Structure 1
Amino acid sequence: MIRPLSRTALVLDIVGAALLFVILTPFSIVFYGPGAGNVANPVASAGAIAVSSLLMFGGVAIGRLAPALALAGAWAGAIVQMLAGFGPLPIDLAILMTLYATAAWGSRVVLWWGFGSALVGALVAALYMVFVGGVTAGATSGWDQLTTGTLLLVLSILALGFAWVCGLLWRVVLRARATRAAQLQAESLAAEEQERVRIARDMHDIVAHSLAVVIAQADGARYAAASQPEMAGEALTTIAQTARGALSDVRLLLTQLRHRQGDGPQPTLADLETLFAQVRQAGIEPRITVDPTPPGEPPGAIQLAVYRILQEALTNAIRHGDGAVDVHLAWQPDRVDLQVRNTVGATGPGAGSAQGGGGHGVIGMRERAQLVGGSLQAERQGTQFVVQASLPIGEPA
């Protein structure tokens, strides 16, 4: 019955209805009241018009707040007007405004009540004007009365129906706006979620790899400090270099997030040798095979995906592996096939994560492949953990 409506909108509706009441009610009394209707007393005639106008424009004042009550007020005012013996008056503009409100802001039930009121009201108005209002008083035959009554019915339906249809069109506009706003909100939420996923993926790729190298070097330095102090110094140097590189990457990522700048410099195939050197310093010797070699300069997105996938796969090898790592890259004319194999313990953490297929690293690698239209599988095969990816590269630059 009552719709949510802002105080400002309600005040505007009340003020507008009051102004129309003040303007149209005296106009109706002065030009239509004297000698009209079945009320002989002019004061009673004016009072009937005033009461009818008050009911109708009272409904207009709450048309957006309570369309059902507004429709009831319009019917009550029309009934008082007909009982007083008046035909169409300027105050009947309120009826058209109420029908508009029922179609524009009413519930589904009120919407169809408004439609029915337009049809029934048109029929009642035509019959009233024919048999009570004296419109066909000069008709000489029943055929003339029928023709006049039919014309009045058509005109009433057109007038009342036009108001209802206008409200229905505005209802469609409001619904389209709401749908568009919901769509924009959903797109905004989806974009925010994608951004969070991208941030998590980048942070994982940067921090996890660097920490894995740092941990491996720190463990090695601790054991070598007693017997080979010079190796401990080299390990500490590697730790410092790796930490500085990770800090630089994190600062770049945070700068992009803070200022919403474009993508900064991203790793390319030229940075793979640096990545392999970090893995060697961590105590893992990668055996690298590139066959066939890239036919040209692959797209930047493919180079980034290859780098990040290799970075995560080698990080897993450092954390869970116990030997060398085999890396194979095959640059085909339309795709690049990537495979990383490393041995894992039968009960080590690498085995559990491989079997379950879980972990943020595997998820991140799979997302990297999917972002460029490729696919990735990471699974345990016997004593080895195997990462296989196929990325489409299209036409090389």
Structure 2
Amino acid sequence: MFRPLKTHQIVVDVSLGVAFFLIAWPIEQIVTGATGYGAPLQGWLEAVQALLIALVFGAALAVRRLSPGLALGLAWAGAVLQMGFGRPPSFADLAIFAVLYTTAAYGGQRVYWAGFASALVGALVITVYLMAGPVFAGGGLTWQTLPLALVMLVAAAFALGLSWTTGALVRTAVRARENRDAQQRAEAEAAAEQERVRIARDMHDVVAHSLAVVVAQADGARYTLAAAQTGEGDMKTPADPAVATEALATISTTARAALADVRLLLGQLRHRQGDGPQPTLADLEDLYAQVRAAGVQLRVDVDPAPPGEPPAAVQLAVYRILQEAFTNALRHGAPGGPVDVRLAWLPDRVELSVRNPVAPGAAPHGRPGHGLIGMRERAQLAGGRFDASEESGSFAVSASIPIGGTA
């Protein structure tokens, strides 16, 4: 029955209802005195009637958004009181139009159609009351007054129906916007979920390999130290510090790579078996060749070069981001335009950027598509960041992915 509203909305509506009451009450008293049906300044009965009418319509205006059904009931109660007291239409009746608007814009299904029915029935009631009521009665409804009555009926139905129709149009526009936003969110979530599943499948074998290397190197270091402390008699085999140091360094490097891979897996919701070997940095030349074969002027700058063998997760993320960036350049870039690629393998991270000119008249990249969502997911799940922007006729994507080494 009551809609959830913010505090400031309730304050605004109640303030509007109080202000309407303070304006309508004295106007109702003036109308009563002008019609000659009482002396509002001298008699208390007319003043009470004016107070009730203004109070009911003011209350309907105050709760119109909080409870459209209750507001509609109060509006009908005010109209019945007005007709029961034999009073003419006045300023207070303006609240009816606001109530009909909110029944169509914010009411539930029953209130929505109740507002529509009220507009039609209200037009008929107004016509009958004005033609046969105690205020404007001039012999009642006759064949001579029938044309005037029809005009009144059409005018009243148009005025009340216009308020309800305006609310219905607003309701339709709000529903359409909500449905469109929900569809866009669903598409974005579906694309992100699909990308998470694909990344989880890619990482399945990588983590197992990293942990196996850690175990093997740890066992090797332990066996080396154990052999140095054993021997025949009192003689001990001399330990080789270089072997142990190398094993520990390998454990440290592999553990950092495994930690990055585990971070990726923790971001996944499902895990599936991999489909086979995943691309590495060694496959980038083939990727470059494919892009150049498509007629793209590709310019690659790698400075500095990778310090050793980066973690497999980083290699896969770099490969997939570059692959999708090239796809975007082929789809949305200027035909034959240059594509500039920059890779900077720093000690603690890799910085990559791809820039290509935008084709004249191409659709703007303001709304993120599945490709941009996938690249952002790749970078974020690897613990990095991703940016995409269009400026000066070029579209650029950039990413920074931590390697896990010491800065």
The TM tier, using the shorter chain, reads 0.5 to 0.7
Distance 1:209 1:298, change over 3 A: farther
Task: Write the distance in 2 (CA, Å) between the matches of 1:20 and 1:271.
Answer: 73
CA deviation profile, 1:125-149 (whole Å, cap 9, x unmatched): 011111125657399x944311100
Larger Rg: 1
Task: Write the distance in 2 (CA, Å) between the matches of 1:86 and 1:254.
Answer: 76
Letter in 2 for 1:244: T
Q: Which residue of 2 aligns with 1:15?
A: 15
Q: Which residue of 1 aligns with 2:289?
A: 297
Q: Which residue of 2 aligns with 1:74?
A: 75
SS in 2 for 1:33: helix
| CA shift for structure 1 position 168 | 1.6
| CA shift for structure 1 position 56 | 1.4
Q: Is the 8 A contact 2:214 2:255 kept in 1?
A: no
1:1-397 alignment runs, 5 A limit: 1-30=1-30, 32-36=31-35, 39-42=37-40, 43=43, 44-132=45-133, 135=136, 137=138, 142-183=142-183, 185-186=185-186, 189-190=189-190, 193=193, 197=197, 200=200, 204-216=204-216, 237=246, 240-241=249-250, 243-244=252-253, 247=256, 267-269=280-282, 297-298=289-290
Q: Is the 8 A contact 1:221 1:232 kept in 2?
A: no
Distance 1:177 1:296, change over 3 A: closer
Task: Write the distance in 2 (CA, Å) between the matches of 1:84 and 1:206.
Answer: 85
Q: Is the 8 A contact 1:217 1:236 kept in 2?
A: no
| CA shift for structure 1 position 169 | 2.0
Task: Write the distance in 2 (CA, Å) between the matches of 1:72 and 1:199.
Answer: 58
Name the % identity: 41
SS in 1 for 2:144: helix
SS in 1 for 2:145: helix
Aligned Cα root-mean-square deviation (Å): 4.5
Task: Write the distance in 2 (CA, Å) between the matches of 1:73 and 1:158.
Answer: 22
Distance 1:7 1:222, change over 3 A: closer
Q: Is the 8 A contact 1:129 1:135 kept in 2?
A: yes
Q: Which residue of 2 aligns with 1:378?
A: none
CA deviation profile, 1:20-67 (whole Å, cap 9, x unmatched): 11113322322x222427x44543334323211211111111112222
Question: Scaled by the length of structure 2, what TM-score is found?
Answer: 0.54
Task: Write the distance in 2 (CA, Å) between the matches of 1:220 and 1:9.
Answer: 71
Task: Write the distance in 2 (CA, Å) between the matches of 1:238 and 1:34.
Answer: 104
| CA shift for structure 1 position 177 | 4.1
Q: Which residue of 2 aligns with 1:365?
A: none
Distance 1:202 1:214, change over 3 A: same
Letter in 2 for 1:152: M
Task: Write the distance in 2 (CA, Å) between the matches of 1:74 and 1:194.
Answer: 53
Letter in 2 for 1:297: A
Structure 1 stretch displaced more, 239-248 or 45-54: 239-248
Unpaired segments ≥5 residues, structure 2: 232-236, 267-278, 293-310, 317-373, 375-407
Q: Is the 8 A contact 1:59 1:73 kept in 2?
A: yes
Task: Write the distance in 2 (CA, Å) between the matches of 1:247 and 1:77.
Answer: 76
* Count of residues in correspondence between the two structures: 274
Task: Write the distance in 2 (CA, Å) between the matches of 1:80 and 1:136.
Answer: 18
Q: Which residue of 2 aligns with 1:261?
A: none
Structure 1 stretch displaced more, 159-168 or 232-241: 232-241
Distance 1:220 1:11, change over 3 A: closer
SS in 2 for 1:144: coil
Letter in 2 for 1:100: Y
| CA shift for structure 1 position 123 | 0.3
Letter in 2 for 1:15: S
Unpaired segments ≥5 residues, structure 1: 258-265, 273-293, 301-306, 313-370, 372-397
Task: Write the distance in 2 (CA, Å) between the matches of 1:115 and 1:101.
Answer: 11
SS in 1 for 2:114: helix
Distance 1:233 1:215, change over 3 A: farther
Task: Write the distance in 2 (CA, Å) between the matches of 1:146 and 1:192.
Answer: 67
Structure with the larger helix share: 1
Letter in 1 for 2:13: D
Letter in 2 for 1:72: G
Task: Write the distance in 2 (CA, Å) between the matches of 1:295 and 1:52.
Answer: 79
